[in-house]
């Protein structure tokens, strides 16, 4: 069953965020994942949503998603990610 990660993002340091974005795709691909969507918020239609950007990645299953997140390669990128943006990551099973 596919599993997804959704990231809600507010960029604080564009250079750091660009560095993270340049490296994260390879870590996702290693676990059979793929980028599904990356975009900027147009308008909040209901409720409160403070982040400006969203990203969605799909993995073959929850084990691949969790393996990616816990991998040394991705863990090494977290300080760069956190220096560049405020990020909320949520995982979902389809």
- Domain ranges, ordered by start, for the chain: 3-93
Distances (CA, A) of 30 to 12, 68, 81, 91: 28, 8, 19, 18
What is the architecture of the domain spanning 3-93? 2-Layer Sandwich (3.30)
Beta bridge partners of 55: 7, 38
Look at residues 37, 43, 42, 54 and name the one whose alpha carbon lies nearest to residue 88.
54
% of the chain beyond a pLDDT of 70: 100
Mean pLDDT of the chain, nearest integer: 97
Query: Is the whole-model pTM more than 0.85?
Result: yes
Query: What local confidence, expressed as pLDDT, does residue 19 receive?
Result: 98
Condensed to tens digits (0 to 9), the pLDDT of residues 17-55 reads: 999 999 999 999 999 999 999 999 999 999 999 999 999
């Amino acid at each position: 069953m596919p599993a997804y990660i959704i990231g809600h993002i507010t960029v604080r340091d564009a250079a750091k965020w660009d560095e993270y974005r340049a490296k994260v795709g390879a870590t996702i691909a290693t676990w059979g994942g793929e980028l599904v969507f990356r975009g900027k918020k147009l308008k909040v239609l209901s409720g409160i949503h403070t982040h400006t950007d969203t990203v969605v990645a799909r993995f073959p299953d929850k084990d691949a998603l969790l393996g990616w997140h816990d991998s040394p390669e991705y863990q090494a990128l977290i300080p760069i990610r956190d220096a560049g943006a405020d990020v909320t990551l949520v995982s979902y099973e389809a």
